[in-house]
Amino acid sequence: MEFTAEQIAGLINGEIHGFSGVTVNTLAKIEEGHSGALSFLSNPKYEEFIYTTQSSICIVNRSFHPSKDLPETLTLIKVDDAYQCFAKLLELYSQLNKKAPVIESPSFVSESARIGEDVYIGAFVYIGKNVTVADAVQIYPNCYIGDNVRIGKGTILHPGVSVYHDCILGEDCIIHAGTVIGADGFGFAPDANGVFHKVPQIGNVVIENNVEIGSNTTIDRATMGSTRIKTGVKIDNLCQIAHNVEVGDNSALAAQVGVAGSAKIGERVMVGGQAGISGHLHIADDTKIVAQSGIPSSVKKADTLMGSPGIPLEDFKKSYFGFRKLPFILSKLQELEKKVKELTRDDEPN
């Protein structure tokens, strides 16, 4: 589809500098722009590219004033926040690319399943007994939806997502390819001989509204009760959320984060990539955990933690400064030991 600068400016309350009738039909980074493309500039580090870009339209902040001539083919749309406005356009672009409502064949939908209006169900999808799929849901090919699952309005399941029985997904969630929701928690009890016996996992997973979960993430069902991902949570690719975990509203977990069983993560917590959180502890609201940190005990007050075990960031920086000086300190210590030995020999009687 093509859009004019005038149409785009109307959507984002922008001010046009250039030709209002110029059209675009795709999006591109400013450094990779070409004729017919729409780009944006918000970070000053990329300003150099606006003077050479081939994009037809570029969204910029109202505060932007070019320091040299712009390409004659470039039209600017000035807005209060270029990044936010471009994100809004990306969302609109994504909506335009939504799948048309249809149940593709072959797929299996149980007779007892309840399917809402404007639903897309791709080929090779399995939908089990008593499943509820609300309006405007999109389920891409090769997904598995177990018995008694409930999926809220507007939620999107990308290819190959598996949702085990009895789990609940809220409204406007996005679950990316390969994610598994509701597999058994890692529950085993050793007997007197050290042989592990499986503990049945009879709970479920509850994902609230406006949650996004990246590709190949796993969220285990609770032993009893629910593993719960609360409203607005964002989870990256390749994360592991164990049984009975709770992740509070609007928290964000980056790639390869692991959260052990029954941990309770507060609201607005940010966890960097490859961090690990031990089980049965609580992370206070607004805590920040730096990438590759390990958290072995509860965090009672919001802080920025780094290291393993995680300690306050400023303490970690001081400790690391000392660690980096260890080779120098060891060298000086060896010199002192040598001098002490020499002095000791000089003091010995002949």
**Residues annotated as part of the active site:** 243
Short-list 206, 232, 208, 231, CA closest to 219 = 206
Sorted by sequence, the CB contacts under 8 Å of residue 232 that are 6+ apart come out as 209, 210, 211, 249, 250
Residue 18 zone, left/alpha/beta (φ > 0; ψ -120 to 50; rest) = left
Q: Determine the Cα–Cα distance for residues 22 and 3; give it in Å rounded to an integer.
A: 8
Residue 174 and residue 213 in contact, taking contact as beta carbons nearer than 8 Å: yes
Place of tokens 């000089």: 346
Listing DSSP states for 22-56 in one string gives -EE-EE--GGG--TTEEEEE-SGGGGGGGGT---S
Enumerate helices (H) and strands (E) in the chain, giving the number of each.
4, 40
Q: Determine the Cα–Cα distance for residues 70 and 92; give it in Å rounded to an integer.
A: 28
Element (H, E) at 75: strand 75-79
Work out the number of other CB atoms within 10 angstroms of the CB of residue 235.
27
Short-list 156, 145, 151, CA closest to 108 = 145
